[in-house]
Amino acid sequence: MTDRPRLTVLGTGYLGMTHAACMASEGFEVLGLDIDAEKVARLNAGDVPIFEPGLEELVKDGLSSGRLRFTTSYEEAAEFGDVHFVCVGTPQRRDGHDGADLSQVEACIDGLAPGLTRPCLIVGKSTVPAGTAAVLAERATALAPAGDAVELAWNPEFLREGHGVQDTLSPDRLVIGVTSAHAEEVLRTVYAPQLEAGIPLFVTDRPTAELAKVAANAFLATKISFINAVAEVCDKASADVTVLAQVLGADARIGSAFLQPGLGFGGGCLPKDVRAFLARAGELGAGDALKFLREVDAINLGRRTGMVDLAREVAGGSVSGKAVCVLGAAFKPGSDDVRDSPALDVAKILHGYGAEVTVYDPQALANARKVCPELSYADSAIAAATGADVVLLLTDWPEFGKLDPEELGAVTSTRAIVDGRYMLDPAAWRAAGWVYRASGIPAPADSQSSSMAKQSS
- Say which of 234, 269, 325, 372 is annotated catalytic: 269
CA angle 241, 242, 247 (to 5 degrees): 90
Our CA dihedral for 90, 95, 96, 99, rounded to 10 degrees, sits at -30
Bridge partners for 8 per DSSP: 31, 84
Cα–Cα distance list, 370 to 208, 329, 373, 376, 377 (Å): 38, 12, 6, 12, 12
Distance CA 56, CA 64 (A): 12
Distance CA 96, CA 118 (A): 41
Q: Are 270 and 221 in contact (CB under 8 A)?
A: yes
Distance CA 386, CA 323 (A): 9
Distance CA 209, CA 203 (A): 8
Q: Which of 213, 206, 218 is nearest to 158 (CA)?
A: 213
Cα–Cα distance list, 334 to 246, 331, 370 (Å): 24, 9, 19
The reply to whether 269 belongs to the active site is yes
Distance CA 384, CA 360 (A): 6
Distance CA 176, CA 199 (A): 13
Distance CA 313, CA 316 (A): 5
Q: Which residue intervals of 66-102 are DSSP H helices? A: 74-80
Catalytic positions are 269
